Structure 1
Amino acid sequence: MIERPRREQFRHFCRLQTRWGDVDRIGHVNNAKYFTYDENVRIDYFEQRLAAAAQGSHIILARIACDFLEQLHHPAVIDYAMRVTRIGRSSFGTQGALFVGDTCHARTEGVVAWFDYAAQKTAPIPEAVRTVIRDFELVKPAE
């Protein structure tokens, strides 16, 4: 059984609205749109955290998966939450949650790597970045 995320586990939220173009022919929001919503909140989360701790953004998405828990219909106002669940040597584990009211409609899990774009390989996460993430999260990430 999938554990449903709860709002109180998250500190970072983005409010989004579904668009008519998000709807598929069955009448609900198409599954591919959940990844777009996740991208919006993930980028917002890391831009806000990294602006204070690093010179520019040095992340790259390595993995993303989604558990669809409830159908989502248009129109809807979404509160999409994001948190870091794990800090590794060169990557973060992330969890996203799509809420409408208090109901979680979807849960994402991702891996974001700290990436050296000049060398085209992963690099160790700087301690300043680790500290910012640790200090921000309500539920402390595993390390």
Structure 2
Amino acid sequence: MPNDPMLRNAGAYPLWTEERIRFGDTDRLGHVNNAVYGTYLETARVELMQRLLRGPETYFVLARMSIDYLAEMQELGPIRIGTAITGIGRSSFTTGQGVFQGEMCSATGDGVVVLVDAATRRSTPLPADVRAALEELSLKK
């Protein structure tokens, strides 16, 4: 789903995370290295997960991630990562994300995040309050 055209629309995201392109994020060609996009998406995903966690008895793990690269980012400075929920399962949810420099969407990604019971280390159902919070962060159409 990362190539969903809705993920290229900044107005579709209810949650935003600020980040900066650093000199070390760039490669020999002078643009942001493709591996760094995973870090940008992770920064925003972790911010979302921190909003949802309630205690040490459960935690979230990333089960899958994909990224579509749309345009080069070359200038150092501020970027924004939009995050929205694109699906909710029994014990997992799917994030849709976009990396924006100014108005340009340079990449989109999606990830499946699973809630895990710390004692059993197995997936566990999403509690009703977490499910409700996720629904409020759904992708705006």
Q: What is the RMSD of the two structures over their aligned residues, measured on CA atoms?
A: 1.7
Q: Quick one: distance in 2 between partners of 1:6 and 1:69?
A: 13
Amino acid of the structure 1 residue aligned with 2:68: D
Equivalent residue of 1:139, what SS?
coil
Post-superposition CA distance 1:74-103 (Å, at most 9, x none): 313211111111000111011110011121
Equivalences for residues 1-143 of structure 1 within 5 A? 2=3, 3=5, 4-48=7-51, 50-51=52-53, 54-56=54-56, 58-137=59-138, 139=140
Higher relative contact order structure (alpha carbons within 8 Å, sequence separation ≥ 6): 2
Task: Report the TM-score, using the length of structure 2 for normalisation.
Answer: 0.89
What is the alpha-carbon distance in structure 2 between the residues aligned to residue 61 and residue 128 of structure 1? 20
Unaligned 5+ runs, structure 1: none
127-136 vs 21-30, which moves further = 127-136
| TM-score, structure 1 as length reference | 0.87
**Aligned counterparts of 2:69 and 2:139: Cα–Cα separation in 1:** 24
Deviation of residue 72 (structure 1)?
0.9
Output the CA distance in 2 between the equivalents of 1:9 and 1:131: 19
Contact 1:64 1:111 in 2 (8 A): yes
